[in-house]
């Protein structure tokens, strides 16, 4: 049982994250469901139909909402429903849309109230909508035929110069080709950006029309009564031909079928609208007013507030509201005279495709110029409110600042001054006066480390030390190796002895010559055989050298030299040539002996 319970617990733990995820997803789905109401147009003439769409988003199951009573319109029986499923970035979203057809019955400003709907057991509420219903007299006059016509609708005809106003161009047609986007004559006005036109269908009387709605904003550039428009649109109308129903014979109509429509190019033109453009009031204009028109609110913050003179403070300002939000600029702040200011950077988040509503965020860097500043003075932003027909000024609170003077440190204690006695202390309130004389001593000298002679000079003590070190090592080596020392001594003696021999031969000193020759042989043999030189006799040659493996080619001339020396004691040679002739022989023998392994 214990094992079973443990297994169950493990299984439970295993599925716990999945269950939690599912629960959160369900919860998230319920919490994330929304109901949005939209109209296919906000301005409609009397007698025309408009589509009211109620969109359930993120809801699992949505029930058809019931519309509350709406003034000035009647609701056409019958409602269409459609479902949309979309995947974006791996996220699934579903929408259920209910479309209601409303027909405008009386002119006026209508507010469609918030509509409640049920989805997934939850009651959702849409936002209220505003609809303007205009009279339909002009519309019939504008129609070229009942096949197509164009309307220019400006809900507000009295505006201030610089105040943007909404414009709608509505193009109706039954059957047409090559329909161009309507164009507007903008003389005296500047036109704002126009979002993509929307297309819908509407019923006027008993006729169903295709309807394209172009929305945009316009701004008057000068004052007075100005004509606005007209709007124009070119298209090719498909007009039904007259012989379409001439014959009732089905065979004739089948085999002799003529064109049912005739293509007829046409240019539709709307009426112009007369706009009354008022100048901005000249009274009570705020000092910092820079031309902003609309209705705004402002928030501002500044950081850091604890800083040093010269450090930047970033002032962040958000201005939100209705108006030409993207063209707003922060005005220069007269109270910020103790700060160095830099041009603000700005970005706009629009809530409205026409650019007439949103939030504009500014970031401006200001740098305090002294540490006596206590606060960043309030930021002021003035605008003209066309609804209130008055100027308004928004002001942020002053931001307290703690500003320290620039970094300071203790004066350094001078430990390496050259302390020349002639350096008179200068007055403390001015710099030391200019030098009257141009000294070569003060000229910049070339770098010593880059001079070859200097680098060469540095090697001299090193070379001296290395030489003496090697010399000492050699002396020590010889002192510790007597055989090597004797070898070097014998080599020196032989070098000197050969010189002596040549001297004796030249002087014909036979006795001295042979005595030296004998001595040299003794020295060399003694060194080779490691015997005292005095112990070397002719007998040693046979006893020791033959045992060492010396060849007869060496032994023979050696023996001859010994014998010549012995013979010379009794019959000395007196000829210089004879004596000199023995030297190469001796040198040959000595050379051979030196090659012997000691």
Partner 1 sequence: MRHVAVLPALVLLFLRLLANRLLGSLAPLIGAPARSWLLAVGFATLGLGAGSPSLAADIGSDFDAANKLYEQGKFSEAAAAYQKLLDAGAPAEAIHFNLGNAWFKAGQLGRAIAEWRLAERSSPRDPSVRFNLQFARKRVTGSDAPAGVLWQRALRSLTLNEWTVLASVLLWVWFLLLALREFKPMLRKVLSGYTSTAGLGALLLAVCLAGAAALQFNTRPAVVIVPEAIARTGPLDEAKVLHQLRDGTEVVVLDEKEVTVGESKQTWLQVRDNARRIGWVKGDQLSVLAAGRT
Nearer to partner 1, 282 or 437 (CB): 437
3-state class (DSSP) for residue 252: helix
Neighbour count for residue 567 (Cβ, 10 Å):
12
3-state class (DSSP) for residue 280: coil
Exposure b/e, 432-470, CB count within 10 A at least 16 = b: eeeeeeeeeeeeeeeeeeeeeeeeeeeeeeeeeeeeeee
Cβ contact 129:40 at 8 Å: no
Least distance (Å) between residue 367 CB and partner 1: 5
Nearer to partner 1, 466 or 511 (CB): 466
Give Cβ neighbours of residue 121 (< 8 Å, ≥ 6 apart): 30
Nearer to partner 1, 225 or 449 (CB): 449
Check residue 294 and report its DSSP letter.
S
Least distance (Å) between residue 335 CB and partner 1: 20
Nearer to partner 1, 1 or 447 (CB): 447
Cβ contact 494:526 at 8 Å: no
Least distance (Å) between residue 464 CB and partner 1: 5
Least distance (Å) between residue 14 CB and partner 1: 50
Tokens of 322: 């209705």
Least distance (Å) between residue 344 CB and partner 1: 11
Nearer to partner 1, 1 or 438 (CB): 438
Least distance (Å) between residue 447 CB and partner 1: 6
Give Cβ neighbours of residue 563 (< 8 Å, ≥ 6 apart): 538
Least distance (Å) between residue 370 CB and partner 1: 12
Nearer to partner 1, 390 or 448 (CB): 448
What is the distance between the alpha carbons of residues 277 and 491, in angstroms, rounded to a whole number?
A: 128
3-state class (DSSP) for residue 285: coil
Least distance (Å) between residue 485 CB and partner 1: 19
CA dihedral 386, 388, 389, 395 (to 10 degrees): -90
Between 576-595 and 482-507, two packed helices, what is the crossing angle to 10 degrees? Answer: 170
3-state class (DSSP) for residue 394: strand
**Phi, psi for residue 309 in degrees, rounded to 5:** -55, 130
Check residue 508 and report its DSSP letter.
T
The structure tokens 């042979």 sit at 514
Nearer to partner 1, 448 or 598 (CB): 448
Burial class (CB in 10 A: 0-12, 13-18, 19+), 69: exposed
Nearer to partner 1, 242 or 440 (CB): 440
Kindly list the distances between the CA atom of residue 499 and the CA atoms of 492, 517, 524, 591, in Å, as whole numbers in the listed order: 11, 11, 16, 16
Nearer to partner 1, 236 or 369 (CB): 369
Tell me the β-bridge partners of 402: 306
Least distance (Å) between residue 432 CB and partner 1: 4
Q: Which residues bind partner 1 (CB under 8 A)?
A: 308, 310-312, 340, 342, 345, 365, 367, 405-412, 414-420, 423, 426, 430-449, 454, 457-458, 461-462, 464-465, 468-469, 471-472
Nearer to partner 1, 213 or 403 (CB): 403
The structure tokens 């141009």 sit at 438
Least distance (Å) between residue 427 CB and partner 1: 10
Nearer to partner 1, 136 or 307 (CB): 307
């Amino acid at each position: 049982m214990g094992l079973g319970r443990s297994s169950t617990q493990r299984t439970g733990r295993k599925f716990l994250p999945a269950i939690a995820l599912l629960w959160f997803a369900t919860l998230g789905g319920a919490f994330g469901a929304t109901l949005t109401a939209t109209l296919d147009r906000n301005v409609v003439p009397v007698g025309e139909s408009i589509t009211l769409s109620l969109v359930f988003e993120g809801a699992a199951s949505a029930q058809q909402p019931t519309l509350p009573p709406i003034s000035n319109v009647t609701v056409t029986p019958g409602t269409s429903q459609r479902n949309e499923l979309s995947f974006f970035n791996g996220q699934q979203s579903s929408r259920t849309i209910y479309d209601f057809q409303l027909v405008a019955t009386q002119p006026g400003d209508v507010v469609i109230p918030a509509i409640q709907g049920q989805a997934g057991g939850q009651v959702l509420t849409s936002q209220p909508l505003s609809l303007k219903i205009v009279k339909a007299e002009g519309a019939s006059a504008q129609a070229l035929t009942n096949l197509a016509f164009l309307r220019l609708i400006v809900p507000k005809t009295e505006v201030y110069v610089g105040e943007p106003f909404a414009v709608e161009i509505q193009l109706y047609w039954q059957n047409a080709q090559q329909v161009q986007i309507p164009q507007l004559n903008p003389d005296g006005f500047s036109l704002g950006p126009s979002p993509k036109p929307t297309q819908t269908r509407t019923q006027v009387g008993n006729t169903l029309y295709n309807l394209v709605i172009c929305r945009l904003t316009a701004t008057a550039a000068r004052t007075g009564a100005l004509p606005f428009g007209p709007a124009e649109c070119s298209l090719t109308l498909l007009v039904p031909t007259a012989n379409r129903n001439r014959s009732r014979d089905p065979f004739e109509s089948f085999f002799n079928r003529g064109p049912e429509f005739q293509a007829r190019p046409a240019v539709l033109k709307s009426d112009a609208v007369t706009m009354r453009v008022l100048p901005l009031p000249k009274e009570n204009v705020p000092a910092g007013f820079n031309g902003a028109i609309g209705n705004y609110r402002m928030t501002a913050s500044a950081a850091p507030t604890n800083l040093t003179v010269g450090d930047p403070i970033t002032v962040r300002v958000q201005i939100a509201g209705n108006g030409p939000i993207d063209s707003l600029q922060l005005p220069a702040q007269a109270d910020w005279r103790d700060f160095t200011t830099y041009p603000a950077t700005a970005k706009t988040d629009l809530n409205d495709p026409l650019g007439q509503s949103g939030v504009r965020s500014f970031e401006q860097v200001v740098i305090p110029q002294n540490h006596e500043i206590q606060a960043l003075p309030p930021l002021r932003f003035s605008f003209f409110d066309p609804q209130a027909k008055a100027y308004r000024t928004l002001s942020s609170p002053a931001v307290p600042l703690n500003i320290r003077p620039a970094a300071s440190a203790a004066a350094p204690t001078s430990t390496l001054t050259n302390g020349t006695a002639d350096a008179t202390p200068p007055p403390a309130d001015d710099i030391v006066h200019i030098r009257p004389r141009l000294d070569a001593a003060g000229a910049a000298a070339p770098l010593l480390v880059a001079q070859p002679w200097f680098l060469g000079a540095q090697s001299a003590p090193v070379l001296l030390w290395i030489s003496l070190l090697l010399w000492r090592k050699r002396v020590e080596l010889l002192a510790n190796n007597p055989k090597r020392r004797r070898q070097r001594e014998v080599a020196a003696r032989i070098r000197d002895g050969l010189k002596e021999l040549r001297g004796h031969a030249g002087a014909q000193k036979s006795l001295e010559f042979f005595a030296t020759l004998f001595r040299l042989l003794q020295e060399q043999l003694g060194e080779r055989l490691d015997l005292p030189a005095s112990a070397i006799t002719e007998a040693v040659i046979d006893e020791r050298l033959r045992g060492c493996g010396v060849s007869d080619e060496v032994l023979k001339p050696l023996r001859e030299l010994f014998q010549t020396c012995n013979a010379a004691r009794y019959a000395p040679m007196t000829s210089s040539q004879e004596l000199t002739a023995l030297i190469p022989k001796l040198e040959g023998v000595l050379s051979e002996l030196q090659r012997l392994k000691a």
